[in-house]
């Protein structure tokens, strides 16, 4: 496993805004039918973060929840499928209910490199951002790059990788995004970021390493029909939100990865 150039998880890096330690950080992993890949990710996370790792099984039809429990993670089991964002929101609600001040979300398929977590936390701390998105622009295919350019143009969001599920949410973001207002969003990307911007939250991004998916399929880019539905829905969302500006300008943050 490649290591981050920063001494990973050193004492200094574990300090969060206001001098809080990363004991206040919850690691949220939304998962649907990921029994094949979730174990490897949990093996990396649990020795470091123990019971602060929360897996949300999105009405999985396989043994995702049992595998996660066996590895020692906390598990929420959604009885109905809510999609990636609905599962993530369940994690945010858990965080709010249990007093966590920071949430880091990772995909269950092993795309995200846990060693980059301090990079996200550092961007969050040093920029005072409410949402930090871990981006890996190289992973984007031409089709995705075009799609993201389209949405950036429509929404005015200056974020390179809109759908990345490797994110850090601060307490203001946890409060806002766990509310009913964010419940009807179907995807975690444009809608969530627009909502955050409308409420004056600061969104920023930082480059991270990512890997190809270990197993399973991207939910958004599963089939052309899904893509078409996604494009239409997100376009509509952008158009409906035109004029809802406000919030502070986003800044890009270059971490020394």
| Residue 39 near other proteins by CB under 8 A | no
- Between CA 99 and CA 191, with CA 120 as vertex, the angle to 5 degrees is 75
Q: What is the largest CA-CA distance in the chain?
A: 49
Distance CA 173, CA 192 (A): 10
**Which of 50, 128 has the CB closer to other proteins?**
50
| Residue 69 near other proteins by CB under 8 A | yes
| Residue 56 near other proteins by CB under 8 A | yes
| Residue 86 near other proteins by CB under 8 A | yes
Q: Partners of 56 in the beta sheet?
A: 30, 76
**Which of 35, 113 has the CB closer to other proteins?**
35
**Which of 16, 90 has the CB closer to other proteins?**
90
The one segment of 32-40, 88-96, 122-130, 139-147 that binds other proteins by CB under 8 A:
88-96
**Which of 183, 217 has the CB closer to other proteins?**
183
CB of 202 closer than 8 Å to CB of 127: yes
| Residue 93 near other proteins by CB under 8 A | yes
Distance CA 196, CA 246 (A): 10
Backbone Cα Rg of the chain? 17
- Could you tell me the two tokens for 124? 């969050």
**Which of 77, 175 has the CB closer to other proteins?**
77
Which single residue is written with the structure tokens 């930082």?
206
| Residue 76 near other proteins by CB under 8 A | yes
| Residue 103 near other proteins by CB under 8 A | no
The one segment of 91-99, 109-117, 195-203, 220-228 that binds other proteins by CB under 8 A:
91-99
Distance CA 185, CA 208 (A): 26
Relative to beta strand 167-169, strand 131-135 is antiparallel
| Residue 74 near other proteins by CB under 8 A | yes
Q: What are the residues binding other proteins (CB under 8 A)?
A: 50-51, 56, 69-70, 72, 74-80, 82, 86, 89-90, 93-94, 97, 180, 183-184
């Amino acid at each position: 496993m490649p290591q981050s150039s920063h001494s990973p998880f050193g004492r200094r890096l574990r300090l969060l805004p206001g001098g809080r330690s990363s004991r206040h950080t919850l690691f949220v992993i939304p998962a649907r039918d990921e029994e094949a890949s979730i174990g490897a990710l949990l093996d990396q996370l649990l020795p470091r973060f123990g019971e602060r790792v929360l897996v949300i099984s999105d009405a999985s039809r396989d043994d995702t929840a049992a595998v996660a429990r066996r590895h020692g993670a906390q598990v929420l089991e959604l009885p109905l499928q809510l999609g990636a964002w609905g599962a993530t929101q369940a994690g945010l609600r858990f965080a709010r209910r249990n007093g966590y001040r920071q949430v880091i979300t990772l995909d269950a398929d092993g795309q995200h490199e846990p060693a980059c977590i301090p990079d996200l936390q550092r961007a969050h701390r040093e920029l005072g951002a409410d949402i930090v998105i871990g981006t890996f622009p190289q992973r984007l295919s031409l089709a995705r790059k075009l799609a993201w350019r389209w949405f950036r143009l429509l929404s005015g969001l200056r974020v390179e990788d809109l759908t990345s599920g490797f994110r850090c949410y601060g307490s203001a973001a946890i409060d806002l995004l766990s509310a009913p207002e964010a419940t009807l969003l179907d995807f975690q990307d444009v809608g969530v970021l627009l909502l955050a911007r409308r409420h004056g939250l600061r969104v920023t991004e930082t480059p991270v390493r990512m890997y190809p998916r270990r197993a399973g399929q991207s939910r958004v880019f599963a089939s052309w029909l899904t893509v078409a539905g996604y494009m239409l829905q997100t376009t509509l969302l952008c158009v409906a939100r035109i004029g809802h500006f406000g919030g502070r300008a986003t800044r890009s943050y270059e971490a020394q990865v």
